[in-house]
């Protein structure tokens, strides 16, 4: 495991995601993921499983201080008082008095951006969160968040996989000292049948999932979230730090990007996305 440093935060480069993961699965798989070596766990208010994530961490035998824990505030909670109350509720569910990283989950124009960023800063100032960031923001929104925030913005969590060119957002993040946290790395399963990825995986004696996760974390300033409910797959997903992809292999994977590669773009939430170069 290596870490990504971004605006004062040190973040494990490989995280364990819990999106669409039912509570019973969380209680079973998160302690196992921590046992095999994961030290970065990602959840969100809207996932409906913060309580199980908290319980799983408590029951894992791994000290809270050794785990980098991220959650995200849902868009309906962006007004200042609701924001503060929702963070308190998240902390109660997560059975902790702080989270390592708190993100705005999606843009929401119904609440002023200054109010949203102000609330993020307010919970940081009182020690309830160590670092703050954003999710699903385009470059304009990223720049605005950096400008409005007293505390450093450390990451933008976005969809990122071999079929979606995110160079523009990644470059903007680097210039601002931010990391990019990539979700949906497996492109909803599309990667598993890709001949280019299968060939690279065979060459290294690794799985396609391992190759994709390696491709993500091998990029400067990129953090990858992996997700599985299978014990064997969790251990496999973590075993990506004993090999490296060549420059040609990295380029071949970048070359899989398509103009219509984006999968996640919900109406009413998604911003106007930056067009790939």
List Cβ neighbours of 158 (8 Å cut-off, separation of 6 or more).
135, 136, 137, 166, 169, 180, 181, 182, 183
How much is the average pLDDT of 170-183? 98
275: confidence class by pLDDT, cuts 50, 70, 90: confident
Q: What are residue 158's phi and psi, to 5 degrees?
A: -140, 160
> Is the pLDDT reported for residue 277 higher than 80?
no
The pLDDT of residue 110 is 96
- Is 47 part of the annotated catalytic residue set? yes
1: confidence class by pLDDT, cuts 50, 70, 90: confident
How much is the average pLDDT of 102-121? 97
Burial class (CB in 10 A: 0-12, 13-18, 19+), 248: exposed
- The residue behind tokens 């849902």 is 74
The pLDDT of residue 276 is 73
> One of 47, 78, 160, 184 is an active-site residue; which one?
47
114: confidence class by pLDDT, cuts 50, 70, 90: very high
* Alpha-carbon gap, residue 208 to 201, rounded angstroms: 5
Q: Where are the alpha helices (DSSP H) in 5-97?
A: 23-36, 50-59, 80-94
Per-residue pLDDT tens digits for 233-245: 999 999 999 999 9
């Amino acid at each position: 495991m290596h870490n990504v440093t971004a605006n004062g935060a040190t973040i494990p480069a490989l995280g364990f995601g819990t999106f669409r993961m039912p509570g019973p699965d969380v209680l079973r798989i998160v302690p196992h993921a921590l046992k095999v070596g994961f030290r970065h766990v990602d959840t969100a208010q809207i996932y409906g499983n913060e309580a199980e994530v908290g319980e799983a961490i408590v029951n894992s035998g791994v000290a809270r201080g050794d785990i980098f824990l991220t959650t995200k505030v849902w868009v309906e909670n962006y007004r200042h008082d609701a924001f503060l109350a929702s963070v308190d509720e998240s902390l109660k569910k997560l059975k902790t008095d702080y989270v390592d990283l708190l993100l705005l989950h999606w843009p929401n124009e119904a609440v002023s951006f200054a109010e949203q960023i102000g609330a993020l800063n307010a919970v940081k100032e009182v020690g309830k969160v160590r670092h703050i960031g954003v999710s699903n923001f385009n470059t304009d929104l990223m720049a605005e968040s950096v400008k409005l925030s007293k505390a450093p913005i450390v990451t933008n969590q976005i969809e990122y996989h071999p079929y979606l060119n995110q160079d523009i957002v990644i470059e903007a993040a680097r210039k601002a000292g931010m990391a990019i946290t990539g979700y949906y790395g497996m492109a909803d399963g599309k990667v598993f049948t890709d001949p280019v990825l299968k060939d690279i995986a065979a060459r290294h004696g690794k799985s396609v999932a391992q190759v994709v996760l390696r491709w993500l974390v091998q990029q400067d300033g990129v953090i990858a979230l992996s997700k599985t409910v299978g014990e064997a797959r969790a251990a496999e997903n973590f075993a990506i730090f004993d090999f490296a992809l060549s420059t040609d292999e990295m380029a071949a994977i970048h070359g899989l990007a398509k103009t219509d590669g984006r999968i996640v773009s919900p109406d009413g939430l998604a911003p106007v996305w930056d067009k790939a170069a």
